[in-house]
Amino acid sequence: MKINKKIDRRDLLKKSALMGGATIATLSAPSILMASQPAKPKELIIRAWGGPWVEALKAGVSDIFTKKTGIRVKHDLTEDNEIQPKVWAAVAQGRTPPIHLNWDTTTNATKSALRGVCEDLGDLPNIKNTTSLAKPVGVDGYPIVNTYGYVYVLAYSPKAFPDGPPKSYHDLLDPKFKGRVAFYNDGIGFHFPAQVAGGGKLEDIPDNMQPCWDFVTKMKEQKPLLGEDPDFVTWFQNGEIDAACTISTNALGAKKNGVDLAWTVPKEGAKFDTDGLWIPKGHSEGDLYWAREYINQALTKESQQIWLDGLGLPGVIDGLTPPPGVPIGDPSYPTKPADFDRLIRVSGQIQVENESEWFSKFKQIMQG
Which CATH number is 151-272+335-367 given?
3.40.190.10
- Least Cα distance to 145 among 303, 342, 319 occurs for 303
pLDDT tens profile 276-313: 999 999 999 999 999 999 999 999 999 999 999 999 99
Q: Kindly report whether the global pTM for this prediction surpasses the value 0.85.
A: no
What is the mean predicted confidence (pLDDT) over 139-167?
A: 96
- Least Cα distance to 192 among 27, 364, 78, 350 occurs for 350
Confidence tier at 347 by pLDDT (50, 70, 90)? confident
What is the 8-class DSSP label of residue 119?
Answer: P
Dihedral, 260, 264, 266, 268 alpha carbons, nearest 10: 130
Distance CA 307, CA 45 (A): 18
Report the percentage of the chain scoring pLDDT > 70: 90
pLDDT for 35: 52
What is the mean predicted confidence (pLDDT) over 145-171?
A: 97
pLDDT for 25: 34
Residue spans in the chain of domains classed CATH 3.40.190.10: 14-150+273-311, 151-272+335-367
Integer angstrom CA distances of residue 322 from 84, 122, 169, 272: 32, 28, 27, 17
Confidence tier at 172 by pLDDT (50, 70, 90)? very high
Q: Which CATH architecture has domain 14-150+273-311?
A: 3-Layer(aba) Sandwich (3.40)
